[in-house]
Structure 1
Amino acid sequence: MAAGPVPQEALDYFRAKALQPGFDYRDVWRDEYDLMFTVAKALRYDVLSDIRDAVAEALAEGQTFRDFQQSLTPVLQKKGWWGKDDVRDPVTGEVREVQLGSPHRLRTIYRTNLRTARAAGQWERVQRTKRTHPYLLYQLGPSQEHRPEHQSWLGILLPADDPFWQSHYPPNGWGCKCWVRQVSRREAERLIRSGRVSTVAPQIRTRAWVNKRTGEVETVPQGIDPGWDYHPGASRRQAIADKADQAEARFNGGGG
């Protein structure tokens, strides 16, 4: 899988994440991934840091998965984070035999972080240019098979600020390769005249899903994997805006 270097906005997004060790992938959930980097079962900070550094290098240099795997595998093997081992869950206290490093897990780490970083970087650019290119067009990726719901979203053309994107901005699940294309007003008019797009947000149908990690019952949009119904990059942007507002409030309060 050749990636090519990601845009600077995507790299900045990824590099700003703080390390968050966790036993289960649900220990960091939904838009918390905007702020934290975690890998399930990577409970040691040195191991988690090595993985994050390797991902950052892969993003910056445009490494293929093979390059990424060949570089990181011996590092993890040397530290003993490879194969299966008995690990204590710090939340439940239970000791379980779990899968640590493996080619399959490295592929998931590589693909997930590459796609979410690219999506977040694109969202940052959308915010800067939406005055002239205010629309997003849902597109399918190069997968051989697509989820039926994702196929039904192909050709949806909506303003970038439409609430639909808050939960349906891709990727929308493990392995999802869907993406959005930013569209100018003029192109949007041509696409609408052609009849090849839909300008009406589809009705969002949901299903109940039990988070076995917390016991909570969550509402998940159909066609989206649990935990993926968030907008990569949006909460990071909001967090930065909130900090700016707080700093301005402190400055104004102190200057009175």
Structure 2
Amino acid sequence: MSEIALKPLSPLEAIEYFRDKIVLTPAQFYQLKRQAMVNAFTAAEITSLDVLNDIFEELAKALESGATMKDFREAINERMESRGWVGLTPFRADTIFRQNTQTAYQVGRWKQMTDPAVMTDRPYGVYSAVMDKDTRDTHRAVHGECRRLDDPFWDTWYPPNGFRCRCSVRTLSQRQVDKQKVKVSTGSWQRLIEPPGKPARQLIPDPGFDYNPGKEAYQPDLSKYTKRLRDAYEKRQREKAKA
């Protein structure tokens, strides 16, 4: 009997989303409206498009191959140093790697979860934080919140909800909701958080992360794009259509 070799599947939706990004300098990137940023790529304080393209390519390769942050840092530093640049520090490399790969995975995951066929069987999403000592108070407070995936809640509270956010969303079927007696919430989301020893404050995502990158990536409003980004995006779509 022949052996069957099991290999991890590539996150195709995440790779497609990331490969479709347009590389911009930080100055160009921050001229965009927030909704357009999800379809562009940059790295803070790096103004050379050559280096930004190198970082982008190494991140794309990491997504495609399943490489670790250490693999990414070694590869990008070799490329940067060959151009006479100082390589990325471990913290900087980790931040760039984690934020971009996490966003790509979550965008791909949103596309999978909201496929009409999938939603027929598993229409509920549950917010899941890591719940360790590094989990932010706000993210901890949302842990376990269950809503239908078409609930407006996910327009604001879909991860990542901050830099280096590790939160995710898992889906449930109606049978699982009933069997586990999960409370499904509806209505507007307005809640205060009162961390021990700290003043109460409104429960909101980290600044700049109060939107759903999955929705923005696959249903972009091109009126919010600059002409350069709009032209590049439309060109990319025409090329994909011909492929």
- Using the size of structure 1 for normalisation, the TM-score is 0.72
Confirm or deny that 1:62 pairs with 2:66.
yes
Give the secondary-structure state (helix, strand or coil) at the position aligned to 1:137: strand
CA deviations on 1:88-124 (whole Å, 9 max, x unpaired) are xxxxxxxxxxxxx332211111000111011000010
- Counterpart code for 2:154: W
SS in 2 for 1:181: strand
Q: Residues 18-62 of structure 1: CA distance to partner in whole angstroms, max 9, x if unpaired?
A: 111114985556433321011112222211110000000111111
Q: Distance in 2 between matches of 1:20 and 1:143?
A: 35
Aligned to 1:155: 144
Aligned-residue identity in percent:
32
Q: Which has the higher contact order (CA 8 A, sep 6+)?
A: 2
Would you say how many aligned residue pairs link Structure 1 and Structure 2? Answer: 208
Letter in 2 for 1:126: M
Deviation at 1:183, TM superposition (A): 1.2
CA distance in 2, matches of 1:82, 1:22: 18
Task: Give the gaps of 5 or more residues in structure 1.
Answer: 84-100, 207-220, 248-256
More strand per residue? 1
Structure 1 residue 239, shift from structure 2 partner: 2.5
1:14-53 equivalent positions in 2, closer than 5 A:
14-23=18-27, 26-27=30-31, 30-53=34-57
Runs of 5+ in structure 2 lacking a partner? 1-7, 193-201, 224-229, 235-243
Q: In the alignment, which residue of structure 2 is the partner of 1:106?
A: 93
Task: State the one-letter code of the partner of 2:91.
Answer: H
Runs of 4+ that moved beyond 6 A: 240-243
Are the equivalent residues in 1 in contact too, given 2:15–2:64 (CA < 8 A)?
yes
* Per-residue Cα deviation, 1:140-191 (whole angstroms, up to 9, x for no partner): 1264332222222111110101111101101111121111001112112223
Instruction: Output the amino acid matched with 2:153.
Output: F
Partner of 2:196: none
Corresponding residue for 1:127? Answer: 114
Cα 1:237/1:25, change in 2 over 3 Å: closer
Change in 2 beyond 3 A, CA 1:59/1:201? farther
Q: Deviations over 1:206-230 (max 9, x none)?
A: 9xxxxxxxxxxxxxx7442211111
Work out the CA distance in 2 between the residues paired with 1:184 and 1:198: 12
Query: Quick check: 72-81 or 17-26, which moved more?
Result: 17-26
Normalised to the residue count of structure 2, the TM-score between the two structures is: 0.75
Is the contact between residue 143 and residue 177 of structure 1 (CA under 8 Å) also seen in structure 2?
Answer: no
SS of 1:39's equivalent in the other structure is coil
Would you say 1:224 and 2:205 are equivalent positions? yes
Conserved in 2, the CA contact under 8 Å of 1:6 and 1:118? no
Pair 1:164–1:234, CA change in 2 (3 A): same
Matched, 1:204 2:190: yes
For 2:33 and 2:15, locate their aligned partners in 1 and report how far apart those are by CA, in whole Å. Answer: 21
Which one is further off, 28-37 or 234-243?
A: 234-243
In structure 1, the partner of 2:17 is: 13
* Aligned-partner Cα distance in 2 for 1:115–1:59: 10
In structure 1, distance between residues paired with 2:86 and 2:172: 45
